[in-house]
Amino acid sequence: MTLDGEDVDSLFEGMILFNPAETEAELRQEKDNGSDDSLQYGQSDTCSQSQPLDENLFSDLTLVVDPLQNIEVGEVEHDLQSQQASISATAPTSSIQGQGQAPRRRKRSGLRIGYGRDVLFSNDLPQTPISDGGSLGDAAIGVRDTLPSITPATDDADADAATVTQPSTESSSKSKNENRKQKDDSAFSEAEFRQIKASIHEKLNHASQQVKSASSARKDSIRNRRKTAENANLASVKHLELEKQLEEACEAEDFERAEKVSENLSAAEKEKQAFTNSLREADAFVDALDLKLQHALDSQLAALEQCAILLDNYATNALNNANSAIKKATSVYSQEIDQWLSSSEALEVKKMELEIESHFMNEARLELNNTIEDSIQDDKREKEFLCKRKDVLMGELEQLLALVKQKEKEIADNNSNLEAVENKINKTVSGFKEMQSSIDAKYGKLQSVLAQVKLGTETLSLKKEEIDNFLIKEEEMRARLEEFARISTEEAEGYREIVKLRRSLMSSILKSREDKLTLAKNEEKLYGDVKLFQQAVSDARASLQELSSRKSSIQQDIASFKQRIIFIDKRVPELEAEKKVATAARNFKEAARIAMEAKSLCVEKESIQIGMDTATSNLEKLEEEIKDILNKLQETEGMILLKEKELAMVGYQRLLLTAATARAEKAAALEMGDMEEANLLLAEAEAADCEAEKLQLTYKFEAEDLTDLQRHLISMDLVSYLDQKQLEELAVSLHLFTG
């Protein structure tokens, strides 16, 4: 049956309005015309199809449910549950199925809600005037019979609401698990980063402690070497003073004093040699500690390289984990969004159905309340009229005491009528009360279902928010991992740059150390050569002294021979004269003795001549040998001077290198705040420069005679102490100096 706008406007059309004053007459008339009433009922049944609305409003109100609704609603619940179960396995497939099944669910779960008068007409419900108490009871029964048709929809709504909220709860728990897992992964990544940082910090601290220990030992050895060098310098000064005293004593021909000074000089030379050996040992110990410090720095650089490798590996793993996490989060987000859209769509459909049903149920409830009010409105007016009449009668009773009996009778009749009307009102209200409470209960149930649906909507909203938060947190975790990776990469690059700078600066230090070792070896070699030449000179001088003694002895022998020959030459003529005198005196015995003496002197002269010739020959040979030794001694002294100049050159270069090293160590001490050490190193550098200047003035060294030495050095302590920026500045300054 169709309804137009005119039917809706004539909602109360067909109701009978009556006069309360004519109630008693109508009641009597109903008793007399019972058959007419039954005829009237039949006529009202035949013409009810043409009427817009009957007197009993809810006799035609029904909610028609599809006969297959219960089966289809069960299928919808099954679809929702299967959809929830399949989302975690195949998100794209479930999303497509959810979108494809949504229109079918709308069709299958749709409720046809309206005025089903055709169904009621087939039941042939009686149409009675609303003023009749019996007809009101029948109308209440008719409405009560039509209300159970609403119950299946309400029950299905409860089931669907439970079905919708169940996947939401499962999804919420799943999302919480994902969030918990995501938090655990993020916490693990941060813990791994902190662990790597702690390991790096421990390695670098260990390497730094080794460098500090080696540097401290090196500084102590340098202090000891400085003391040994001072003692060696004092011994050298003492040796020079004794040499001057020896020269002065020799010039003054004070040989006794010269002998004492010579003895002191020998002791001073031994002391000087001992201090020199101690200084060499101290230098060797310093060099060994330099090598140890270099190894410590190499270990520190190796630790930095290992740290850079660790950070690179972590950065790579962090980026891979971040990409994997964001891919997984995107997949989970897509699945959760598909599930959320499917659940939200199903919930929106169910919410729309329940809102439509609730709307019609609310209209039915309001119409029932209006019908009840309209049904008892005339009785209320009659009650008010009777109350007013009672008041009037009571007033007349008070005013007309004479008519008390008559008025009491009228009052009694009025009270009786009033009681009958009240009973009629109570009966009418009680007839509708059960139906009203049933409708209110069903309306409340619908409101409860709507509240559950709203709760499901809020749950889905929270689920959507959780999904969005999950993706946001995954993005944040990815950003955090990328930040950790960036920090790790930057730190690794910084460590590599530090290693590169320190290796570059260490190469400069190693170059200066090689120069120092080369100079030390050359100096030792030249010093050994000088010592060998000096020993050769000493041996030559000893040989020369021995030859000079032999020459003097031979010269004395020759002089003695010459004197004897002169004596013989003078004595032989005298003896010849004496022999002649003795012969002349015929003293032949005396003449024989004189002749024998003269003959022996001649023989002696001959032997002396032979000895003198031999001595002269030996003297010539000795003079030749002395001459050779003198030439060799002169050559050796020349070589000594040459070697001493070379030794002075090497010493000059070593002093320059020592001064540059001391200034580098002074710069390191100033950088570390050790002013006392810096002042000592400055004094050492100035002393080295002063000694170098003396050597240059003594030997007249030229610039082209010097080898290419580094004048601007750095300390290994400074290399291990400075940070990256300071190392870069230092490298630039050294490049400018050396380039």
The dihedral over CA atoms of 42, 43, 45, 51, expressed in degrees to the nearest 10, equals -160
**Average pLDDT score, the chain:** 75
Distance between the two ends of the chain, CA-based, in angstroms?
Answer: 109
The packing angle between helices 255-399 and 151-251, to 10°, is 160
Place of tokens 């019972």: 34
What pLDDT is stored for residue 566 in this prediction?
Answer: 92
Q: What tens digit of pLDDT does each residue of 76-114 get?
A: 444 444 444 443 434 333 343 444 444 444 444 444 444
pLDDT in the model for residue 424: 80
Dig out the tokens for 173 from the structure. Answer: 């728990």
> What is the C-alpha separation between 651 and 527, in angstroms, rounded?
10
Could you please report the per-residue DSSP string of 57-85?
GGGS-EEE--TTHHHHHHHHHHHHHHHHH
Decide: helix, strand or coil at residue 50. coil
Q: What is the pLDDT of residue 257?
A: 86
Sequence ranges of the domains in the chain: 195-398+417-734
In 3D, which of 249, 245, 248 has the Cα closest to residue 237? Answer: 245
Please, how many CA atoms are within 13 Å of residue 385, restricted to the half-sphere of its CB?
Answer: 11
Q: Which residues in the chain land under pLDDT 50?
A: 1-22, 31, 34-154, 157, 159, 161-165, 167-168, 736-739
Query: What per-residue confidence (pLDDT) applies to 131?
Result: 41
pLDDT (tens digit, 9 = 90+) per residue, 546-555? 988 888 999 9
Residue 399, CB-side half-sphere exposure with 13 Å CA sphere: 6
Rama region for 594: left / alpha / beta (φ>0; ψ in -120 to 50; rest): alpha
Q: What is the DSSP string of 106-168?
A: HHHT--EEE--HHHHHHHT-----TT-HHHHHHHHHHHHHHGGGGHHHHHHHHHHHHHHHHHH
Inter-CA distances, 661 with 288, 515, 658, Å = 16, 12, 5
> CB–CB of 501/727 below 8 Å?
yes
